Structure 1
């Protein structure tokens, strides 16, 4: 039952993220991390978001396997694969027409809450999510700080491709995502113990 609950939760998290990204894509907006890089590359290649997202995550699995364990890596691989499939399905079957401001708000919130679900079940969406979990577990750096830095990097890269209004609405998505992760994500108890031990020593 516990295993079923975990995988249902991971599927729900991927669905929330896929919907959030689809809403952002429909308005030409961006989100942070590997997903944001994939959105930028959409403008430079003929590959779909799902294909780009899957390919970009391949190098990060090695980091996950070596530092975060087999179970985390497997769940992350499954989550990335599921998100890629869901993104392809939404691209073909879900048609949206939403104001960019609302797209930025809804997209950021959906992606943020989807990530929270995945983090709580020892999974991620690869890329910078893996780095965020690694830094949190080994150095007690909260995941929201890593995602915020990633947001800034993606925004800087997006200056070439987006106009000011798109950048502004994308920033709304970035801020809401970071806010959700910062307020609702709680590091595992053993990570908190490691932080206390580090302070004592």
Structure 2
């Protein structure tokens, strides 16, 4: 695989995720992982989603570098930075109104397919995704299962700050994301990664 092909694919994956997140944000819905936490925190701070998403992922680079390698960490850092910038641009220049159910369906599926592209090119969007890739490599736990657990945690937090209907629609997005990742993501046969002592 050429370097150009890899980075173009990472760009495309980030674009799909950014569009999915934008659709969900437009309807006041959530998605999983650090992105979901970023959406929740936009209600508690003056920072934008893109800014929060970038900041929330900073601690996870240490785990990525120690367990998944510097190349993976670099691609992940670039992916997170790309998504943060794309989210800022879409928030500023693309204004849409969309039915919450349609936003949940399209948003969940777009984020899911975007993540698959990133996983297949040995990158992630940090946070829970770093943990998901690490657990898949180290213990053969499918990434979809890890993201599902993360979804549940975000939903519990969302119950405090969002209306029940928003949480219900967000659950649709979560389930579709996990379904897409679970059905289409085919983890390669990696050698077990030994923790760095």
Fold match by TM threshold 0.5? yes
What residue is the counterpart of 2:96 in the other structure? 96
Select between 163-172 and 112-121 the one with higher mean Cα deviation. Answer: 163-172
What are the residue-to-residue correspondences of 1:33-182 with 2, within 5 Å?
33-182=33-182
* Cα distance in structure 2, aligned partners of 1:52 and 1:164: 24
Structure 1 outlier segments of 4+, above 6 Å: none
Displacement of 1:188 after TM fit?
Answer: 1.2
**Structure 2: 5+ residue stretches without partners:** 193-197
Deviation sequence 1:108-145 (CA, Å, 0-9, x none): 00000000000000000000000000000000000000
* TM-score with structure 2 setting the length: 0.96
How many residues get paired? 192
What residue is the counterpart of 2:195 in the other structure? none
* Cα distance in structure 2, aligned partners of 1:72 and 1:51: 22
Deviation sequence 1:19-47 (CA, Å, 0-9, x none): 00000000000000000000000000000
Secondary structure (helix, strand or coil) at the match of 1:10 reads: helix
Displacement of 1:156 after TM fit?
Answer: 0.3
Displacement of 1:165 after TM fit?
Answer: 1.0
* Cα distance in structure 1, aligned partners of 2:119 and 2:49: 22
What residue is the counterpart of 1:198 in the other structure? none
* Cα distance in structure 2, aligned partners of 1:168 and 1:128: 22
Deviation sequence 1:75-119 (CA, Å, 0-9, x none): 000000000000000000011110000000000000000000000
* Cα distance in structure 2, aligned partners of 1:55 and 1:20: 20
Calculate the aligned-residue CA RMSD, in Å.
0.9
**Structure 1: 5+ residue stretches without partners:** 195-201
Tell me whether 1:23 sits opposite 2:23 in the alignment: yes
* TM-score with structure 1 setting the length: 0.94
* Cα distance in structure 2, aligned partners of 1:97 and 1:59: 34
Secondary structure (helix, strand or coil) at the match of 1:189 reads: coil
* Cα distance in structure 2, aligned partners of 1:156 and 1:190: 34
Displacement of 1:190 after TM fit?
Answer: 2.4
